[in-house]
Amino acid sequence: MSTQQLAMRGLIKGLVQGVFFRMETQQQALQRQLTGWVRNTSTGHVEVLICGDEANVGSMIEWLHQGPALAKVSAVELARINNPELDDFQIVS
């Protein structure tokens, strides 16, 4: 199992607002011991920053492609960034 740290930031597109996407993302991230944040954008997307163990980040990315039950994800666009070394995972505005 890899212990390399990874940070990814980007957008989740589709029907992702008004379907508990941020709350579910936070819960999923905390279950995977990830740090970062999630927020709605003014363009109707959800933006995320996820940081942690490479395997857990990979698992989280898989979940982001599906999202919560009411979501209809059409695209996940993430890019690797330098790890900001955050302490928790928050819903931000």
**Model confidence pLDDT, tens digit, residues 17-44:** 999 999 999 999 999 999 999 999 999 9
CA distance 79 to 19: 24
Contact 23, 16 (CB under 8 A): no
pLDDT in tens, 59-80: 999 999 999 999 999 999 999 9
5-91 maps to which CATH number?
3.30.70.100
Q: In the annotation, is 9 catalytic?
A: no
Query: What integer pLDDT is reported at residue 61 of this predicted model?
Result: 98
Three-class secondary structure of residue 88 per DSSP: coil
Among residues 9, 22, 32, 56, which one is catalytic? 22
Among residues 9, 32, 39, 40, which one is catalytic? 40
Q: How is the chain split into domains, by residue range? A: 5-91
Contacts (Cβ under 8 Å, ≥6 apart) of 63: 28
Q: In the annotation, is 82 catalytic?
A: no
